[in-house]
Chain A
Amino acid sequence: MNERKSLIKIKPKRYKDGEVVKVSFMVMHPMDTGMAKDKKTKEIIPAKYINSVKFNYNGKEITHMIVWESLSVNPVFTMYMKINGKGKLTVTYTDNTGEVHEKSKKIKPKG
Chain B
Amino acid sequence: MQRRDFFKKLGTVTAVAAVMPAMSFAAEAPKPVSPNKMDFKTAVDTITGGKTPVKSNKVKLKVPEIAENGAVVPVTVTVDSPMTDSNYVKAIHILNGKNSNTRCIDVYLTPANGKAMFATRIKLGGTQNVTALVELSDGTFLIASQSVKVTIGGCG
Contacts and interface: CB of A to CB of B under 8 A. Distances in A.
A76 B71 contact: no
Interface residues of A, number: 34
Contacts, number: 108
* Interface SS, A side: strand
B113 A80 contact: yes
Interface stretch (B12-20, B58-66, B117-125, B142-150): B117-125
A68 B123 CA distance: 11
A35 B155 contact: yes
Nearest to B34: A35
Interface residues of B, number: 36
Q: Looking at A65, A75, A81, which has the most chain B CB atoms within 10 Å of its CB?
A: A65
A77 B73 CA distance: 13
Contacts of B104: 68, 70-71
B63 to A, nearest CB: 13
Contact of B156 (A36, A63, A67): A36
A65 B106 contact: yes
B71 A34 contact: no
B110 interface: yes
Given A63-B108, A66-B105, A82-B114, A77 B99 contact: no
Given A72-B121, A84-B112, 9 more contacts: A63-B107, A63-B110, A72-B120, A76-B119, A76-B121, A79-B109, A79-B113, A79-B117, A79-B118
Interface of B: 32, 34-36, 71-73, 76, 96, 99-101, 103-115, 117-124, 154-156
